[in-house]
Structure 1
């Protein structure tokens, strides 16, 4: 049993169309699945990823139109980072994001890597991390976008940031329950590694008791998911999480992968998810995300569901 790295991050948007336009047009990611929240099919669930929808590259969004603002703070997944091929790509993205008039911080270095932090139009906290000298979890397959060179394209999820008031309870779950290795720290940012490590296998935990507790809303993150091999191994993880005394969902079949959800002591929602079967289980790889996909148990409600969803205009990259 081993966590292989980051599987996906699921965030919240108020505007599915604008969200789609930003993540496909500006960031050049591929929409690999257009579906609905399986627990509330009245809302979209959009999946952006690499060219093949690989585990470890998925950044997903639930659309909640009536959402309020996020009041940032602790007990949160506070930043999602995305991997780019090298240091030169960071410079390319700095110029591109500035041209979009986004809120962009100066290029910085953290744990020996060049990073660029910025926000999307809804205030979603994002970062780009260079894979220049990266070793560890392999990147995804870059998607060829119309105006982004493949040599600069996003190639997966980088370190996910947790912000907590106290490090110890979260560190205990990461290391003792999930098997992460605690590495080093820079000031109050602590680095944890799973699997082969590297940018695709790290969690960075910011410990800051001076902040208020976050009130999530538009532009916040719902949960982070980590990769496990298959359903058989996930069933073992269910037992381990239960033995650790963590309230959990038990095994949940999400059609594209199987999942287990639980909250760690600082109230951050964590998911363990299998690598497969993958997004091409119900549509061809070359047309992923073009039509509305529904899991089998919702298929008999397709007409009703489609009537309640506002169509999303898509473009071909």
Structure 2
């Protein structure tokens, strides 16, 4: 391997009403909207990025919200669940908190190693909170909705559901530099880097799962981290040399990206850690304004007419809310 990943960069999913999405992820999950931009391939709709205070890689969840989109189907060939890391002993607080915002949540598993809570967002996307005794050193976004002592630290893991797990696992080991750390039944856990929360992927083998349909309430793709564009280019060259149909490097303004599908059908992205979300607005004001890349600025007036107006909760920018 020329390059290996240090873990997850972000997960991108498809939503419906952007206001419902904003309210749930800011007030329900206690994340911060760190960038309000548009889908560069379809500028008539938003691309919303949520994460910690500055949107560090490994804390990010992003959405393409198309109002009126039909519900998708969660199934094989997709990332079927996205998990966030929370402190040990916090899930009871989260059950009560979700009830207070009108979301039903339930603890689905408890073991000596981890506890998991399942909640669905307004579009039916499966979100899990995972509490473990493994120390997660990442600082949370201390929002008005979720106190820091309970708050999300960042991504924990993603679950990939595929029919042929052997080929998917082989790619992740041989081409992404991950390693198998646990096998139980039809589920295999792989880790990157130091194996901490945010560097984990669970591959779920299922011959009975329906074929996934990409639409509302489903994950569009998952992205893995690479430090910079030079490393990304090395990785792209190596993937292409092994026969993967990988895109050219694409400018996403806050990082650059390449994309390819793994053998089970899940769309993978490899994204750079740099340059980050503070390149076009101050840290205190992240998410407040609609930001466009230079090549879309000439169309700003048309784009602003096309996107649906949304209101940002004050807790997203507490020091400038007034």
Note whether the superposition's TM-score is higher than 0.5: yes
Normalising by structure 2, report the TM-score: 0.94
Cα distance change of structure 1 residues 238 and 110 upon mapping to structure 2, 3 Å threshold: farther
Structure 1 moving runs of 4+ over 6 Å? none
CA distance in 2, matches of 1:122, 1:154: 21
Contact 2:78 2:161 in 1 (8 A): yes
CA distance in 2, matches of 1:53, 1:26: 18
CA deviation map 1:121-176 (0-9, x unaligned): 211101001243246xx52x311211321111111111111001111111111011
Contact 1:49 1:58 in 2 (8 A): yes
CA deviation map 1:255-304 (0-9, x unaligned): 10011100011111000001010000111111000000111111111111
CA deviation map 1:83-112 (0-9, x unaligned): 11x222222112212333433232413682
> Could you say what secondary structure the match of 1:227 adopts?
strand
Contact 1:87 1:132 in 2 (8 A): yes
1:66 is displaced (CA, Å) by: 3.6
CA distance in 2, matches of 1:300, 1:315: 29
Contact 2:113 2:132 in 1 (8 A): no
The question of 1:28 aligning with 2:26 is answered: no
For 1:186, the equivalent position in structure 2 comes to: 184
CA deviation map 1:47-85 (0-9, x unaligned): 01001111111100001224211222211110001111x
Cα distance change of structure 1 residues 187 and 103 upon mapping to structure 2, 3 Å threshold: farther
Contact 2:7 2:198 in 1 (8 A): yes
Aligned length: 313
Provide the alpha-carbon RMSD of the alignment: 1.4
Q: What are structure 1's unaligned runs of at least 5 residues?
A: none
CA distance in 1, matches of 2:112, 2:6: 21
CA distance in 2, matches of 1:236, 1:158: 27
For 2:318, the equivalent position in structure 1 comes to: none
Contact 2:28 2:145 in 1 (8 A): no
For 1:116, the equivalent position in structure 2 comes to: 117
Structure 2 matches for 1:187-206, cutoff 5 A? 187-206=185-204
For 2:19, the equivalent position in structure 1 comes to: 17
The question of 1:218 aligning with 2:200 is answered: no
CA distance in 2, matches of 1:210, 1:61: 28
Alignment partner of 2:162 out of 155, 161, 164: 164
CA distance in 2, matches of 1:111, 1:163: 25
Structure 2 matches for 1:252-263, cutoff 5 A? 252-263=250-261
CA distance in 2, matches of 1:131, 1:167: 26
For 1:37, the equivalent position in structure 2 comes to: 39
CA distance in 1, matches of 2:125, 2:290: 25
Alignment partner of 2:70 out of 68, 71, 82: 68
Normalising by structure 1, report the TM-score: 0.95
CA distance in 2, matches of 1:300, 1:110: 55
1:182 is displaced (CA, Å) by: 1.2
CA distance in 1, matches of 2:62, 2:145: 23
CA distance in 2, matches of 1:147, 1:215: 33
1:206 is displaced (CA, Å) by: 0.7
Contact 1:111 1:186 in 2 (8 A): no
CA distance in 1, matches of 2:74, 2:48: 23
CA deviation map 1:221-252 (0-9, x unaligned): 00000100101000001111101211111211
Q: Which moved more, 1:102-111 or 1:193-202?
A: 102-111
